[in-house]
Amino acid sequence: MGTHVLSLRIDGNLLDRLRTHAAKRDMPVQDYVLQLLQRNDFDERVQTAEAESARLTHWPTTTPTAPVPAATAAGHGQLRPSQRSMGSRAK
């Protein structure tokens, strides 16, 4: 991948602030601006990937779920231990 030249027209106040921020990091203004652009591009790509992942994880499941019977064939009207504990928590 080759490099290309990009020429920008920047307001004087903005350029002064960029120089100040770059000097704090001991960087040339060009490198500082490139770092900002790369970070912004990375953030946008991460947000896009997160949105796509969220969209894919919210697909409906294709496995049907069967209802759990309240009583078993051996003991009509009797609750299983797991059902009893759920009933006591609901109160």
pLDDT in tens, 7-66: 989 999 999 999 999 999 999 999 999 999 999 988 898 999 988 888 888 766 666 666
Residue type at 29 in one-letter notation: V
Q: In the prediction, which pLDDT does 53 show?
A: 87
Quote the DSSP letter at residue 54: H
Measured between alpha carbons, how far is 41 from 21 in angstroms, rounded to an integer?
A: 20
**Entry pTM:** 0.52
